Homo-oligomer: A and B are copies of this chain.
Amino acid sequence: MSRYTSMELNKFLLQEVHAVNELFVLPKFAHLNWEEAWMMIESAKLLADRDMAPYFKEMDAKPAEYDGNGGVKTHPQLKTIIKHAAENGWIGGGAKFEHGGMQLPMMIYNTAHHIFMSANNSCQGYFSLSAGAAALITSFGTEEQIKTFVPNIFAGKWQGTMALTEPQAGSSLTDITTSAKLATDGLYRVKGQKIFISGGQHEACDNFVHLTLARIEGAPAGVKGISLFIIPKFWPEQDGTLTPNDVFCAGDFQKMGQRGYCTTHLVFGDKDSCRAWLVGEPHKGLSYMFQMMNEARISVGLDAASVAMAAYQASLQYASERPQGRLASEKDPLKAPTLIINHADVQRMLLTQKAIAEGSLSLAMECNRLSDLVHGTEGEEKQKNLLLLELLTPIVKTYSSEQGSRSAALAIQTLGGYGFTMDFPVQQHYRDVKIMSLYEGTTGIQSIDLLGRKVVMEEGRALIILAEAIQETSKKASAHEALKKYGNDLSQELTRIKQVLQHLSGFAQQGNVDRYLADATVFMEQVSYVVIGWQWLKQAVAALSALQLGNTDQTPDFYEGKIHTMKFFFRYELPHAAACAKTLMDAEHLTNIKKKEIFG
């Protein structure tokens, strides 16, 4: 089995870059200390080694498949995986003690999540969805709802899902039409279809708890008329028995990647008897769902970073073992070939992957830390952390997934022709990671969220908080002569972002919101380079400090590698932020074509 994550990196990010120890003094997490937390992570690694990684290829080769009659055949190992993950607390671990959880910081829980995901990315989704569904119920549901569903979900017996997308509406939740009607039993009857429902039906769980968006009859149009329902496949009656509910799985989408993770088509109320339990108040479903959605977006960012990491590790191993060719300066054909890791272009491909995978992972850890602080602190500090988290959420989701695909392409390229064959895992990583730019809101939607909502909320305060955080890192960097330059680079990029926003806000002030948002994806790209540059500078500051202090947590080479990769990112990646700015500063609007013949 090949290496798929770096435990050294995981420890470094937690301890030295993102100061996980500061969490253990907060009341919510005071039950835990570093040694215990790390032991849990190491046990997660053993679980991934044993239960997940060995089935990575097989779950792709024998994908989840519809059985033609409501069932989805999944890999037999999935049952073991879910069972063991549940037993070890990796489904409910993040929940509060009172709900049967382990009250783990997201930094810890999601380090395990990263390990699982990089070992075999067809597994973790099942746990994440269950955890998210349970979190929705504990946050907004009644005591009875919690009691009925959450323990079974945390035990891995019942699978939680989120059911939003409908065939005709796609990403546009405004247009969902699944309907709900209050019945005399106090429950609702729901009717409608949902597609792309991950984990919606499979062989490893006994019941499925679909957290579903629907419109109550007479509700206002648009997103303000959407309510949230719990719709189990089997209804848990008062006496503890389970009655089949009117929920039918009508198919499983066959996908290019992540083929072990089922993606179902669900039909609710085909016989007009689909019982549904309202969560919270009517018409507030979308805002509830967004709690789950925001966490899911950070998860997807983490997932993409994890797949990119696995591809990087596989290509690094190959490059370290495969002799081929000679340096250009070596003219003697009788000299033995060199390992390909010694070729400059291979080093460029490896460093690019490292910069992307580890940079993304660091940003995901930053988000996890902010999430822990939001849930563990109060007042002004909480609010600041929340704003920064909200700003970074679409960024981690988008950068990791878009650049994760590019990173996995470089993994293939590092292996050459072999990388394209099914004999090596990197082609699977490449296929798998592509879904990440689509899950939980496409890149276009994330970018509009960033520019249209996150940048402008509270008069731009989130961006100011981000700029302060970056300046703080730059300041720390400037204490080291070797890093000063890079802090200055980031300051310059912040100025550039400000200039772009000034330019764009002109359109918004004229009321031309379509033009303001037209290049949101390019703006996302620009900001992402700067944010990942920040994460790399953070890592470099931590590494250089460790070297200077003679810290022996990691080897000197490990720390040198961080500083080196930071330099690489600033030199090979960051310059593209200025290119994005150039595109954005152009006044002409080229993406408001009215006649589709122009595309012909």
Contact = CB atoms under 8 A, between A and B. Distances in A.
Interface stretch (A79-87, A123-131, A318-326, A388-396): A318-326
A62 to B, nearest CB: 14
B196 A417 contact: yes
Contacts of A518: 344-345, 348
Interface stretch (A88-96, A268-276, A444-452): A444-452
Contact of A348 (B8, B413, B431, B521): B521
B344 A592 contact: yes
Contact of A513 (B175, B328, B576): B328
Contacts of A555: 597
Contacts of A6: 600
B422 A255 contact: yes
A550 interface: no
A574 B516 CA distance: 22
A591 B513 contact: no
Contact of A599 (B324, B422, B561): B561
Contact of A345 (B195, B222, B578, B591): B591
B413 A256 contact: no
A30 interface: no
Contacts of A420: 255-257, 434-435, 438
Q: Is the interface of A mostly helix, strand, loop or mixed?
A: helix
Contacts of A576: 576, 579
B344 A514 contact: yes
Nearest to A558: B600
Contacts of A412: 434, 438
A425 to B, nearest CB: 11
A577 B245 CA distance: 59
Given A337-B172, A416-B442, A600-B8, A421 B255 contact: yes
A324 B172 contact: yes
Given A346-B444, A430-B434, A575-B578, 20 more contacts: A165-B417, A170-B322, A172-B324, A175-B333, A196-B417, A222-B334, A253-B422, A254-B422, A343-B444, A344-B517, A344-B591, A345-B444, A345-B447, A347-B590, A348-B591, A413-B437, A431-B431, A522-B572, A564-B598, A579-B579
| Nearest 3 interchain pairs by C-beta | A222-B333, A557-B597, A344-B518
Interface of A: 6, 8, 165, 169-172, 174-175, 195-196, 221-223, 253-257, 263, 316, 320, 322, 324-329, 333-334, 337, 341, 343-351, 354, 405, 409, 412-413, 416-417, 419-423, 427-428, 430-431, 434-435, 437-438, 442-444, 447-448, 452, 512-514, 516-522, 555, 557-558, 560-561, 564, 567-568, 571-572, 575-576, 578-580, 582-583, 586, 588, 590-593, 595-600
